[in-house]
Amino acid sequence: MFRMLFHEPRIPGNTGNTIRLAAATGAELHLVEPLGFDLSDANLRRAGLDYHDLAVMTVHPDLETALSVLGDSRVFAFTTGATRTYTDVAYQPGDVLLFGAEPDGLPDAVQHHPRVSDRLRLPMLEGRRSMNLANCAAIAVYEAWRQHGFAAPS
C-alpha cells in the first residue's frame, strides 16, 4: 500500500485526521520528529477517534531514519513550488507521499533530498498560500489508491 510521511508535523488535529485516513485506506502513516505535539494530545486522540488501533503509524527520530526504514521506495515531495501535479504520476504500491509541516511546508533541503524522486503539487487558485495538511494527504492517497482500483492492501 501507499505510505504518507509527515516531516515534523505541528498540528495534532491534522495528524489525528490522517490516522483515520490511514485506517480507512490501509495506507501507512510515518511521522518524523520533532513533533509539534505529544502523541497523547487530546486533539490528536479526538480527531483520530477510535481508529488509532486500526492504523499503521510509525514515529521516526529523523528523516534519514524514516527513509532508511522505507527502503528503496519512490518518494514524492508535495510542495506548492512544484511544476508537476499529483495526477501526473502513475503511483506504485509502496510509494511514499512526503508532506511538510504546517504552515511552512517542506524545507528546501528536504524537497531536494537525494531520495526524493519528484516534487508534486496540488493545484490551487492563484494567490492561495497552501491547503490543510490532512486534506492534502487525503487527496494524494485517494488518487494513488484510485489508480489501483481501490484494492485492499495485501
pLDDT along the chain (154 residues), means of 10: 96 91 96 91 64 88 98 97 96 97 93 98 91 96 97 85
Which of these, 35, 144, 29, 133, lies nearest to 80 by C-alpha position?
133
Q: What is the pLDDT of residue 88?
A: 97
| Class of the CATH-defined domain 3-147 | alpha beta
Residue-range domain boundaries for the chain: 3-147
pTM tops 0.85: yes
- What is the enclosing helix (H) or strand (E) of 151? none
